[in-house]
């Protein structure tokens, strides 16, 4: 049974609402902008809606903003990996058919040569000449079949290389946050699921972090500085984690870190250490020659239990983050039931 939200009537309503929304803001209904507007009207992705509202309130809902939102929240949802796999399958099947045809040609030629060998001793000179002509003709046919196969293989391999390059690019874009180069939220959940199945991982701690008062950076200095703050924080987080740790920009100014084989106590110590390093960050705004500092970050942590999934584990860490915010920000808290004294 089709999802009710996918009916022509609903799709038509959302399409009209999307076009009207773009028209009211005097935004051309280009494909990227329309895709973002449609998702915004559908209200299926709260983080996308929040990002659109922030850009609009700041007066910077432009082509660059739409491109960022599209890559972050829409692209992975609509990548047609099925078509890619189908195309590759068809190429492989075509190549297999060509190889099979050539193999049959060579088999027939081998049998022909064997028969010719047996007949040579019995035949006279005229018959030998006829046999040689037949050998020559068969050799030419086999030669053309092999040449055709080689040509076909060259064409197929060139197409496969192009597809592989495009697939790698799409796959990277689908998993990566454009601004920071970190994993995005979709890729993070996939990595988490693999980690849960990994027998070598005995414990998992998750940390949800949020840059304090981030909106003030955008309001006071503009989105360019806001982006620079996010990038600086992302680089600091990444440089202070070990290779097996997984970090993601979960959306906006929020980051999620998954710490395998790390207990909650150790996770708290690590995030406190990183928090202190972030609090010391700063840089000079080259446009105004003024120093930008006061960057702080709050964290909340939780530890994986056997009945957890990603969302339940995330929710507990998010609640701990909320307590960090309530208690003054620039702090680290863990889930209540595992609170450290």
The pLDDT tens digits for 158-187 are 776 776 677 666 666 678 888 899 998 888
pLDDT digits (tens, 9 = 90+) for 87-102: 666 666 676 676 667 6
- Helix/strand/coil (H/E/C) assignment for every residue in 137-176: HHHHHHHHHHHHHHHHHHHHHHHHHHHHHHHHHHHHHHHE
Q: Hey, how many other C-beta atoms are within 10 angstroms of the C-beta on 68?
A: 18
pLDDT higher than threshold 60 for residue 144: yes
Delimiting residues of CATH 3.30.70.270 domain(s) in the chain: 185-338
Cα separation, 216 vs 120, whole angstroms? 95
What is the full DSSP assignment across 273-318?
HHHHHHHT--EEETTTTEEE----EEEEEEE--TT--HHHHHHHHH
pLDDT tens figures, 287-305: 889 899 999 999 999 999 9
User: Which residue's structure tokens are 């003024």?
Assistant: 290
Q: Which residues, 6 or more positions from 233, have their beta carbon under 8 angstroms from its beta carbon? A: 211, 255, 278, 281, 295, 297
Q: Is 335 exposed, middle or buried (0-12, 13-18, 19+ CB in 10 A)?
A: buried
Band the pLDDT of 341: cuts 50, 70, 90. Answer: very low
Active site residues: 253
pLDDT-derived band at 340 (thresholds 50, 70, 90) equals very low
The whole-model pTM stands at 0.60
Q: Say which CATH class 81-175 falls into.
A: mainly alpha
Instruction: Please give the structure tokens belonging to residue 137.
Output: 């003709």
Out of 3.30.43.10, 3.30.70.270, 3.40.50.620, 3.90.1150.10, select the CATH number for domain 185-338.
3.30.70.270
Residue bearing tokens 């990227």: 32
Among the listed residues 257, 79, 69, 37, the one whose alpha carbon sits nearest the alpha carbon of residue 177: 69
Measured between its terminal Cα atoms, the distance across the chain in Å is: 53
Phi-psi region of 54 (alpha: psi -120 to 50; beta: other; left: phi over 0): alpha
Identify whether the C-beta of residue 116 lies closer than 8 Å to the C-beta of residue 134.
Answer: yes
Question: Within the chain, how many helices (H) and strands (E) appear?
Answer: 12, 7
pLDDT of amino acid 150: 67
Give the rounded distance of the alpha carbon of 304 from its chain centre: 24
Arithmetic mean of pLDDT over the chain: 83
Model confidence at 189, in pLDDT bands (50, 70, 90)?
A: confident
Q: Is 271 exposed, middle or buried (0-12, 13-18, 19+ CB in 10 A)?
A: buried
Residue spans in the chain of domains classed CATH 1.10.287? 81-175
% pLDDT > 70, the chain: 77
């Amino acid at each position: 049974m089709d999802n009710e939200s996918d009916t022509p009537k609903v799709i038509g309503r959302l399409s009209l609402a999307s076009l009207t929304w773009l028209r009211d803001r005097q935004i051309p209904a280009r494909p990227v902008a329309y895709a973002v507007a449609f998702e915004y009207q559908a209200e299926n992705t709260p983080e996308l809606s929040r990002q659109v509202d922030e850009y609009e309130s700041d007066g910077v809902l432009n082509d660059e903003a739409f491109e960022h939102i599209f890559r972050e929240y829409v692209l992975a949802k609509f990548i047609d990996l099925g078509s890619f796999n189908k195309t590759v399958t068809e190429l492989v099947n075509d190549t297999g058919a060509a190889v099979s045809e050539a193999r049959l040609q060579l088999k027939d030629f081998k049998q022909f040569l064997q028969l010719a060998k047996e007949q040579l001793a019995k035949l006279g000179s005229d018959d030998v000449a006829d046999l040689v002509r037949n050998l020559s003709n068969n050799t030419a046919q086999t030669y053309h079949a092999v040449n055709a196969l080689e040509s076909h293989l060259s064409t197929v391999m060139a197409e496969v290389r192009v597809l592989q390059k495009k697939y790698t690019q799409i796959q990277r874009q689908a998993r990566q946050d454009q601004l920071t180069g970190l994993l995005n939220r979709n890729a993070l959940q996939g990595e988490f699921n693999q980690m849960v199945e990994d027998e070598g991982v005995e414990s998992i701690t998750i940390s949800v972090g949020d840059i304090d008062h981030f909106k003030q950076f955008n309001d006071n200095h503009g989105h360019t500085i806001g982006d620079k703050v996010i990038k600086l924080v992302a680089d600091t987080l990444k440089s202070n984690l070990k290779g097996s740790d997984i970090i993601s920009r979960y959306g906006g100014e929020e980051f999620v870190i998954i710490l395998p084989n790390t207990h909650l106590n150790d996770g708290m110590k690590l995030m406190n250490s990183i928090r202190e390093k972030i609090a010391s960050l700063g840089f000079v705004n080259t446009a105004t020659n003024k120093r930008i500092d006061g960057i702080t970050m709050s964290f909340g942590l939780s530890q994986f239990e056997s009945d957890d999934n990603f969302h339940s584990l995330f929710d507990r860490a998010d609640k701990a983050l909320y307590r960090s915010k309530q208690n003054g920000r620039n702090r680290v808290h863990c889930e209540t039931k595992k609170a450290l004294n």
